């Protein structure tokens, strides 16, 4: 049987390419095959299926929240997750920290020539599972390919659209002296999971990333206390950086109680070995909440009833320090300042 000109043009279907080649980013047939065989089957939803330059979403009433983050984590797979679910959770959480309900996510991939297709499939499968669990579809996307040695396997940028709740005005700038500082669980898990995995070390029990979506926990919290002042997820730079940011924006100080900080013993051991402070290590399923002091009990009760808040704790209070310092009160009653981290404790953590 004579081959058609088209089939002659494409002697090697995707099955023959075990790894990403430059042509997968060319916009032609190989790009379409990648879309049809990897992305669409895993992430399928009506908006993505349109295959237009932009996804068309349903009618929306209200104020929007909009957020974006790039993910360059190494390794791509780590205990507790991978870059695929991390990218979904991270953008969902950025929306949730404004009190927004996420409605749609975009995902743009920058792939390095030579990445095994099977690796990409595992990443996309994790993204799809996270998207399904969160209930927020990946409605539009993009794929680019860079030459070997000009990228690093896979970078992902997710953006998210959310709808802001009426009557909720979360902002770091409205924290007030006397407010309480809450966290929904243990500190430093994500960063130390990555670092331990990189270094091939074990610390008694394995350290697992806390990567998780927080929008439902936030909904639970706002239901019992719509007057929450600020929510922030302490990712890069950890709790320390987040508290410094809030302190600077609200022109207040922060005081932490050392004995109240929830830290897993394996994370504590790993931090001691590497000379790191868990407070400055990245989290990917944690939030810092600045709340009115009289709402602490009902908030902690609500948080502890939720899977993402079982180990919720009151860890400190907002002060009226005119220098906007973050201070640690030790078990012995002494105080020490916690400076803002300058740069990088752990590179490529998210």
The distance of closest approach from Cβ of residue 155 to a copy of itself in the complex, given in angstroms and rounded to an integer, is 6
Coil, strand or helix: which one is 256?
strand
Tokens matching residue 213:
């979506």
- Shortest CB 18 distance to a copy of itself, Å: 16
Nearer to a copy of itself, 72 or 266 (CB): 72
> CA geometry: angle at 82 spanning 80 and 88, to 5°?
105
Residue 202 CB, nearest approach to a copy of itself (Å): 26
- Which of residues 108 and 260 has its CB atom nearest to a copy of itself in the complex? 108
CB 51 → a copy of itself: shortest distance, Å? 7
Please state the closest distance from residue 340 (CB atom) to a copy of itself, in A.
5
Tell me whether residue 82 or residue 266 sits nearer to a copy of itself (CB atom).
82
Plot region of 6 (φ>0 → left; ψ -120 to 50 → alpha; else → beta): alpha
Give the pairing type, strands 138-146 and 100-112.
parallel
CA gap 174, 231 in Å, rounded: 11
Of residues 6 and 15, the one with the C-beta less far from a copy of itself = 6
Q: Which is nearer to a copy of itself, 266 or 326 (CB)?
A: 326
Of 12, 32, 36, give the one whose Cα is nearest residue 24. 32
Least distance between a copy of itself and beta carbon 165 (Å)? 11
Nearer to a copy of itself, 98 or 317 (CB): 98
Distance CA 281, CA 191 (A): 5
- Which among 8, 344, 1, 14 is positioned nearest to 191, based on CA atoms? 344
Structure tokens at 93: 């959480």
**Residue 22 or 293 having the CB closest to a copy of itself:** 22
Strand pairing category for 253-257 and 335-337? unpaired
* Angstrom distance (rounded) from CA 241 to CA 113: 36
Query: Between β-strands 253-257 and 326-329, what pairing exists: parallel, antiparallel or unpaired?
Result: parallel
- How far is the C-alpha of 19 from the C-alpha of 186, rounded, in Å? 39
Nearer CB in complex with a copy of itself: 77/304 = 77
Shortest reach from residue 191's CB to a copy of itself, in Å: 11
Least Å distance between CB 125 and a copy of itself?
20
* Mode of pairing for the β-strands spanning 81-82 and 77-78: antiparallel
């Amino acid at each position: 049987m004579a081959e058609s000109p088209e089939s002659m043009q494409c002697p090697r279907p995707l099955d023959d390419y075990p790894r990403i080649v430059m042509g997968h980013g060319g916009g032609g047939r190989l790009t379409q095959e990648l879309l049809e065989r990897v992305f669409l089957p895993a992430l399928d939803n009506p908006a993505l299926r349109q295959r237009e330059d932009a996804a068309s979403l349903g009618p929306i009433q209200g104020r929007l929240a909009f957020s974006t983050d790039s993910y360059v984590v190494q390794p791509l797979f780590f205990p507790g997750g991978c870059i695929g679910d991390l990218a979904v959770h991270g953008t969902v959480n950025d929306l949730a920290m404004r009190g927004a309900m996420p409605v749609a996510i975009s995902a743009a991939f920058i792939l390095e020539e030579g990445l095994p297709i099977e690796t990409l499939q595992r990443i996309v499968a994790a993204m799809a599972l996270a998207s399904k669990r969160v209930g927020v579809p990946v409605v539009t996307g993009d794929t680019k390919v860079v030459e070997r040695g000009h990228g690093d396997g896979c970078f992902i940028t997710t953006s998210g659209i959310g709808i802001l709740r009426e009557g909720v005005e979360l902002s770091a700038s409205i924290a007030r002296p006397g407010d309480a500082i809450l966290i929904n669980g243990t500190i430093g898990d994500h960063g130390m999971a990555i670092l331990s995995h990189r270094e091939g070390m074990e610390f008694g029990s394995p350290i697992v990333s806390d990567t998780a979506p927080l929008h439902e926990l936030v909904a639970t919290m706002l239901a019992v206390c719509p007057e929450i002042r600020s929510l922030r997820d302490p990712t890069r730079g950890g709790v320390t950086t987040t508290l410094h940011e809030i302190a600077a924006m609200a022109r207040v100080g922060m005081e932490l109680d050392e004995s109240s900080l929830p830290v897993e013993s394996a994370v504590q051991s790993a931090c001691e070995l590497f000379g790191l402070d868990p407070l400055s290590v990245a989290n990917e399923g944690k939030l810092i909440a600045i709340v009115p002091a009289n709402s602490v009990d009902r908030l902690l009760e609500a948080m502890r009833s939720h899977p993402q808040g079982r180990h919720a704790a009151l860890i400190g209070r907002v002060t009226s320090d005119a220098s906007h310092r973050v201070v640690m009160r030790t078990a012995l009653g002494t105080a020490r300042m916690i400076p803002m981290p300058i740069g990088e404790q752990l590179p490529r953590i998210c």
